[in-house]
Amino acid sequence: MEAIRIENLTRTFRETTAVDRLTFSVAEGELFGLVGPDGAGKTTVMRLLTAILDPTAGDAWVAGYHSVRESEEIKRSIGYMSQRFGLYADLTVLENLNFYADIYGVPRRNRSDSIDRLLAFSHLEPFRRRLAGNLSGGMKQKLGLACTLIHTPKVLFLDEPTNGVDPVSRRDFWQILHQLVRDGVTIFVSTSYLDEAERCVRLALINRGRLLALGTPNEVKTLMRDTILELRTTDPRRAAAILRSGLPDCTVGLFGDRVHVASRDLSLTQVRAGVMLNGAGIGVSDTRTVAPTLADVFISVLAHEEGGVRHG
C-alpha cells in the first residue's frame, strides 16, 4: 500500500518553478528521504504534501486523501515538524505536550498515558518540568518530535529535523525514527546530511524542483559512472580548490582531511593531480581509489545534471 503518491506535482511562484512535475510514491511504513541542496524545493514539497500549499498542477495523495480536495483529512492523519517548529520556550516540556494535545484534540482521558509513553520514548522523562527554552538543541528537537506524535499520526513529515544539532543528538534522533518505523509509522524526511540519507530505505535527489535520482542508497550509488580517487594532503582545503580549477572535467569534493576526485580516466587524473599539488607545494601522503559515497554521487549528479531522472 502507498502512504504517499504524487503525480506530476508542480508549484510555481510567479516566474519561479519551485517544484517541477515530480512523480513518485512512498510505501506504508517506509523511511523515505528527500535530498537536495538549499533551494532545491524540499520545503515546498513538504508544504504541498501536508496540504499547506496547493499545487499549481498535478496531484498528491497522503494516507489515501487528496491534498486539495481532502486537505482537512490529511491534516488529521499526519504529523509535520517544520524547520521552525513552534515550541514555547516559557512552557515546560510537559506543558508543551499538553498544549499540542489540546490543538490536536487528544482526549484528556488517555492523554497522560500517551504523554508518559512519548517522554520515555524520546528520553525526556527526567526533564518533564524543565522549561523548553532551557533545553539543548537536540532535546528541543526530541520535544518537537514528541509534540508532533501526540495524536498518533499515520504519516510523519520532518523538514531537516537535525539541522544544526550535535552528532550525538542526531544519532539519538535517528534511533527514535527507526523505532517509529518499526511501529508502522511512515516517515518522509528531508535532510542535507548525506550520512543521514544512508539511513533511509529509499531516497529522492531533487534539484531546482526536479527529480534527478530515485532508489535505495545503494541503487543511487550505482549512478556513479566515474571512479573516485581519494587523496590525503597536508592542506586539503587548498588542494580541493586547486583541483577544481585545474581539473574542470572532474568533480571534486572535500571530506575532512581527504579530497575526492571523480574521474572517467583515473590514471591521467592521478598524474595531473599529483603534478598540480606538487607544484603548489602541497604534499600528498596517500592516494587510492575508494567506493563512492552518497555525497560523491550528490556532487557528481548535480555537477553533470542533464535533466533526466536516473533510477537505480
In a domain, 309, yes or no: no
Measured from the Cβ of residue 137, the count of other Cβ atoms closer than 10 Å reads: 13
Look at the chain and report how many structural domains it folds into. 2
Question: Are 155 and 25 a contacting pair, CB within 8 Å?
Answer: no
In a domain, 312, yes or no: no
Residues 106 and 234 in one domain: no
Residues 37 and 170 in one domain: yes
Per-residue tens of pLDDT for the chain, all 312 residues: 899 999 999 999 999 999 999 999 999 999 999 998 888 999 999 999 999 999 999 999 999 999 999 999 999 999 999 988 889 999 999 999 999 999 988 988 888 988 999 999 889 999 999 999 999 988 999 999 999 999 999 999 999 998 878 888 888 899 999 999 999 999 999 988 888 899 999 999 999 999 999 999 999 988 888 899 999 998 999 999 999 999 998 989 998 889 999 998 989 999 999 999 999 999 999 999 999 888 888 888 877 664 444 444
- Among 182, 206, 221, give the residue marking a domain's end: 221
Residues 109 and 182 in one domain: yes
Residues 187 and 250 in one domain: no
Kindly report the backbone phi and psi dihedral angles of residue 122, in degrees, each rounded to the nearest multiple of 5, phi listed first: -95, 5
Segments forming the whole domain that contains residue 141: 2-221
Question: Are 312 and 202 a contacting pair, CB within 8 Å?
Answer: no
By the 10 Å C-beta count (0-12 exposed, 13-18 middle, 19+ buried), 256 is classed as exposed
- Specify the CATH number for the domain of residue 127: 3.40.50.300
